Amino acid sequence: MSNRAAVLLVLLSLASVPGLQAQDDSQGAYFTPEQLDNLLAPIALYPDPLLAQVLTAATFPDQIDEAARFVRANSDPSYIDDQPWDVSVKAVAHYPDVVYRMAGDLDWTTALGQAYVSQSDDVMASVQRLRAEARSAGNLETTPQWEVVDSGGDIEIWPAQPQYIYVPFYDPAIVYFGHGGVYGNVISFGAGFAIGAWLNCDFDWHGRRVYYTGWEHGGGWMARSRPFVHVTNVYVNNNYRNVAVNRTVVNRNVNYSGLNRYQSVHQQVNYGNVRGGRTVVDNRTVVNNATVNRTTVNNKIIDRNIDVRDARIDAYRGRGTEPQPNRTEAARPQPVEPIHQAPAPQVQRQEHGAFSGNTGGFDERAASQRGQASRTQQYQPQPAARPSNPPPSGGRGGAAPADRGKR
């Protein structure tokens, strides 16, 4: 059996272990309204065009992780357009603070994507609840950075400037409950980021959906920004008319108990009942608050590389690999063969320049005498000899200046 076949067999065998199988799409990730409020509280006050991209990009957590690493390593945002990510991930990658937040807690990002795929109407209802709470507390009003618009009972948040969008920073435990106004440091803004063609989606709050605008339809903020946006087919393309999401995100394993720290709005809410009460705590499966005596293993790598529902899993089940030596026999000490050391070869050295001299064989007695004589003398510094033929730049004398930054 080849090494590659053996690896495949091991992966297939692991995938067949109870507790490692991917969950069925029909299970979904069903969150209560209170759980959704806690999940969405950190981003519910993002401007609409940015929030639309965040929700869609959250269904691609692996790409979010890759995008964050790429942005940290590349300061030029123009390289983002050439990456093989979903268009929503590319859009979010243009805003480093946002992509870093999402990549910094992939469990939260994945749960957000699961919620959006499974219950998008509930997600949008939660955003509106949170915005209403922030406005009632006096913390959501029009500023030079954003425009707060009442649209038939729904609260929209638009970029106030035609060329720049600002990402708000706030503490969810405060902003929805009062304790000051916008200018009382409840909400702050960093530097403005460019509004580009990548903001190609917006909210239809009445229809409870994210829709593709293509920069062709829409008033308000889009009408203000359109003259400053350079449209390219990277982001404006007929292929995007149907906003795509990654529905397989509902099959990803999430440590839901780790989301319990998201309790800024509803402090008594936890996530132990997500997916019918099944969660993983300390590598134990917990079902309806009862611990099942079975060890589980994170199957993220398996899910990425193989289809755990492949029928071949059953075909390989029960088959062993090639016989291995008995551990007792392998551990038993084996007789050691005597080592016969060959005589050391004579070393011939060829020296050049100021270091040229004796080029014959190595004389052990002469070397010993020289060493003894040197130990009887006090150390006296000598001026360094200048070689007649100095080594070229980048040789053993040191790296060339152009190479120093590459080591």
Work out the angle at residue 154's Cα, subtended by the Cα atoms of residues 153 and 156, and round it to the nearest 5 degrees: 140
Alpha-carbon distance of 120 to 207, in angstroms, equals 11
- Which pLDDT score is estimated for 354? 34
With the C-alpha atoms ordered 359, 362, 363, 366, is the resulting torsion angle positive or negative?
positive
DSSP characters over 240-294 = GSS----GGGGGS---GGGGGG--SS-TT--STTHHHHEEEETTEEEETTEEEEE
List the structure tokens of 394: 């980048």
Alpha-carbon distance of 358 to 372, in angstroms, equals 20
List the structure tokens of 287: 């079902």
- Which pLDDT score is estimated for 216? 86
Quick one: which of 17, 9, 20 has its CA closest to 299?
20
Work out the angle at residue 244's Cα, subtended by the Cα atoms of residues 73 and 89, and round it to the nearest 5 degrees: 10
Alpha-carbon distance of 5 to 140, in angstroms, equals 59
- Which pLDDT score is estimated for 179? 66
Helices (H), 105-220: 106-118, 120-136, 172-175
- Which pLDDT score is estimated for 272? 85
pLDDT along the chain (407 residues), means of 10: 53 42 46 97 98 98 98 92 96 97 97 96 97 95 96 95 97 86 74 96 94 88 95 93 94 93 94 61 36 39 50 46 44 47 43 39 52 52 50 40 40
Contacts of 220 (CB under 8 A, 6+ apart): 147, 149, 156, 158
Query: What is the SS3 assignment for 157?
Result: strand
Query: What is the SS3 assignment for 209?
Result: strand
Quick one: which of 270, 264, 298 has its CA closest to 106?
298
- Which pLDDT score is estimated for 5? 55
Contact indicator for 178, 172 with CB cutoff of 8 Å: no
- Which pLDDT score is estimated for 316? 45
For the stretch 200-217, what's the b/e string if a residue is b when 16 or more beta carbons lie within 10 angstroms of its beta carbon?
bbbbebeeeebbbbbbee
Residue 351 class from Cβ within 10 Å (0-12 exposed, 13-18 middle, 19+ buried)? exposed
